[in-house]
Amino acid sequence: MARPGLRWAWRTAAAGALLSLASAAAVAEDFAFLPAPPTPEPAEAVLTGLASAGDRLVAVGGRGLIAISDDGEAWRQVTSPVSALLTAVTFVDDKHGWAVGHGGVVLASSDGGLSWKLQLDGRAVNLQFHRWADANVEAREAVLAGLPAGVPGREAAEYALEDARFALEDAETALDTGPVDPFLDVLFLDEHRGYALGAYGLLFRTDDGGGNWRIAIDGLDNPGRYHYYDLHARDGVLYLCGEAGLLFLSRDRGDSWERIEGLYEGSFFGLADLGDGVAAFGLRGNVFVSKTGAQWQRLPLAPGPSLYGGTGLAGGGALLVGAGGSLLRLGADGEARRFDHPARATFSDALLRGGRVYLAGMGGISRLEEAMP
């Protein structure tokens, strides 16, 4: 954790910069909450996330774009209520899906992606975060008041209170600057319980399909408010990864979290199913694998392009995708092999369907046969 003086300097500079950009943020907010503009060739636009709604493919991306395909070949744009960049999309069945993005937006569909409505935005996110931060300061002050000087735990309580006050300052600034912090991933365990997570330690939860969203950051050891990038479910365990080596497990559907310490100091950008385990991957092509979440092994890979997304493969293993068209195939036998997509476009997500892997990225939608090299 950074020393207090450095952290204070950084926060003060950041707050000043944010305040100076408040009017620009207001203009951006007005645009973000307008319907998405028409995109003539949606499959060639910037796309960041992919999901299956039954037999239908759904992709999301820049300027609020939502595109669907019923055959994997022809894509058409559907109406989106926002123009903010959408970063991720998920479906729990052929009808019910959610998408998230910049401006703290959460969108929901109940008809397989044909239509979408706004469930949550950054204004409500900022209000909830401010209430949480204010209550957290009061709780930390009460703890410190009960600890005489010199007793064990006093110094840790002082640091905890300092972190809480920094968070409250951030929350107050956010109320002035508006809904600018993005959600970066969304995951639903069923039609009712879901999570949206993202920048600066944002984690929100719903237990009623998105009718009500509530802040859910208690129990996560992240006082520096590092970004959360991805959430993955496997065999009843939730895996949450993020910036600065953050990796958490929950074995009770998100009610409590266990931090995996000491694996890695770089960022984990994504998680993918391996058939018999999970891969966590990210900065400079680093990959760690685990069968249960308890023990992790770092794959002996040379440094390479950063990896941003991935998908499990039918025969076991996974395909990971990343910067500059970089692809990494992890075999069921543990073998890892890098190769490059001819387009050399940066990819952010991948999805296996019907023997093909669909890739989403800066150049739109690309396809690979599952029996790739």
Rounded CA gap, 344 and 348, in Å?
A: 13
Answer for the pair 347, 328: CB distance below 8 angstroms, yes or no: no
Unique residue bearing structure tokens 């930390």: 140
- pLDDT, one tens digit per residue, over 198-209 is 999 999 999 999
Rounded CA gap, 352 and 369, in Å?
A: 9
DSSP 8-class letter at 63:
G
* Assigned token pair, 151: 């007793």
Alpha carbons within 13 A on the beta-carbon side of 304: 24
Type of residue numbered 253: R
Report the CATH architecture of 44-118+181-188: Beta Barrel (2.40)
CATH class for the region spanning 218-348 = mainly beta
pLDDT of residue 373: 55
Mean pLDDT by 10 residues, the chain (373 residues): 31 34 51 92 98 98 98 97 98 98 97 98 96 96 92 92 94 90 97 97 97 96 95 96 97 96 94 94 96 92 96 93 96 86 94 94 90 57
Give the whole-number percent of the chain exceeding pLDDT 70. 91
- pLDDT, one tens digit per residue, over 74-108 is 999 999 999 999 999 999 999 999 999 999 999 99
Rounded CA gap, 134 and 171, in Å?
A: 9
Unique residue bearing structure tokens 């995996």: 260
DSSP bridge partners of 186? 196
